[in-house]
Amino acid sequence: MNHRVTTGIIAPLISATLLFMVTALVGVWAAPNRAAALFRYGLFVLGLVLMIGIAYSARHRLETTLGLLGLGCALLAAVTAVHFLFTVNWAETGPYQLPFIQQIGLWINSYTPELAKLPNLHKNITGGMLIILLPLGLGGTSWAWSKNYRFIMAAGALALLAAFFGLFITVSRGAWLAFNLAIAYTAYFIWRFRPECRSRLRWLADILVLASTISLLVSLFFPLVRPGVEAIPNLALGKIVGGRTNLWQDSLAVIQDYPFTGSGLGNTTMVYSSYLFLLHVPFLATPTIYLFR
């Protein structure tokens, strides 16, 4: 029975993965810039190979595999934070950055000016990566603590501190919003579904969580299909989302004209500029160079 259940779960996942890879290959074929598309497709293949390797290892040593994977995520988060700190040109970060953080960055740039010329990740991309890696790294560090691996636990804790610092200096409001929402929803689910929970306020908490979720979805997606209602996300979230609604609305035209093939892997920036605005340069170009663009 267990074998049948496992097969019934794995078979659809394999089918969906293969279908995804085939459709991604179509995205390579449709891309105006094949080199950029092949690079992006190579990242998908690499991720697939890593996923298969992790699944194979977990068949024999599940707890150890997940623990080491979490520690690897903590290390990757620390590397991402350090990469952001050293490769950003802090003289061009603008008023969004905290003054004392900018001073630290300028001091680092003065000693490593060549690093500030390297390709770097945008602050929102860095924040998004750290938000995903931090919980996994925390799980790996907790596993090392439970096994009394003190040196490994200390290394994981230092990596997490570096990652948290990196998240702080990105000043990515979207990442921090996601982080706070994740903490709030996690605390709710832990409290709501623990066996000894007998609180009569559960129904009230359920209504509040449901209402907040619906409000968030409406503020995010309703402006996509109803131009002119940018005031909703501006009122709810300031300019975190409101400033991007025009971009989302314009992108619908591209999506509608490429419903089956997409506009090509790794080519969104140029397709958006040339297709909608007849520009031969990226419309959304910033001083920051996107490493995976």
> What is the model's pLDDT at position 23?
87
> What is the model's pLDDT at position 155?
92
Q: Is residue 292 very low, low, confident or very high in pLDDT (cuts 50, 70, 90)?
A: very low
> What is the model's pLDDT at position 2?
47
Question: With 70 as the cut, is the pLDDT of residue 82 above it?
Answer: yes
DSSP the chain: -HHHHHHHHHHHHHHHHHHHHHHHHHHHHH-S-HHHHHHHHHHHHHHHHHHHHHHHHHHH-HHHHHHHHHHHHHHHHHHHHHHHHHHS-GGGS-TTS-HHHHHHHHHHHHH-TTGGGS----HHHHHHHHHHHHHHHHHHHHHHHHTT-HHHHHHHHHHHHHHHHHHHHHT-HHHHHHHHHHHHHHHHHHHHTSTT---TTHHHHHHHHHHHHHHHHHHHHHHHHSTT-THHHHHHHTHHHHTTHHHHHHHHHHHHHSTTT-S-TT-HHHHHHHHHH--SS-TT--SSPPTT-
Residue spans per domain, the chain: 65-173
pTM over 0.75: no
Over residues 240-265, the pLDDT tens digits come to 444 567 777 777 777 787 777 777 88
Q: Is residue 141 very low, low, confident or very high in pLDDT (cuts 50, 70, 90)?
A: very high
Q: What's the mean pLDDT in 44-57?
A: 84
Over residues 212-225, the pLDDT tens digits come to 888 777 777 776 66
Q: What's the mean pLDDT in 186-211?
A: 77
Percent of the chain with pLDDT over 90: 9
Q: Is residue 291 very low, low, confident or very high in pLDDT (cuts 50, 70, 90)?
A: very low
Average pLDDT, rounded, for the chain: 78
Q: What's the mean pLDDT in 31-36?
A: 84
Q: Is residue 181 very low, low, confident or very high in pLDDT (cuts 50, 70, 90)?
A: confident
> What is the model's pLDDT at position 288?
37
> What is the model's pLDDT at position 244?
66
Q: What's the mean pLDDT in 8-28?
A: 80
Q: Is residue 199 very low, low, confident or very high in pLDDT (cuts 50, 70, 90)?
A: low
Over residues 144-160, the pLDDT tens digits come to 998 888 899 999 999 99
Check residues 149 and 122 and name the one with the higher pLDDT.
Answer: 149
Question: With 70 as the cut, is the pLDDT of residue 162 above it?
Answer: yes
Q: What's the mean pLDDT in 61-87?
A: 88
